[in-house]
Structure 1
């Protein structure tokens, strides 16, 4: 990765509107189908393949399935 990747993403995040939220949050709070596997599950699978730790994605993938499939 380029040396300035972290600073670029931090700059991007600082410019976000404080009221913004993720599409997963929107889906969860509006009873919409969640793209949990496509968004977080794929990150977990790829990270496992290349040996990278992604604990937040692992946690979301483990915790959210009951809501993702509508069985909450």
Structure 2
């Protein structure tokens, strides 16, 4: 069930271009999407670190609300 919810959220984010391909993905769960600039700076720093150290990997971002929905299932 969790897999289908995960795929549903991916579909809503329009990033379902064949999840079974050998493309490596890095998933960031519990990403802050509030107005707190400190939280936004953390998200930015994480993303830049990943891009620098894993340039060929795809980064998937999930907000706190999306993460809670996935983890409940």
Q: Please identify the structure whose Cα radius of gyration is greater.
A: 1
Whether the TM-score (by the shorter chain) exceeds 0.5 is no
User: Greater strand percent: which structure?
Assistant: 2
TM-score, scaled relative to structure 1: 0.30
* Structure of greater relative contact order (alpha carbons < 8 Å, 6+ residues apart): 2
Structure in which a larger fraction of residues adopt helix: 1
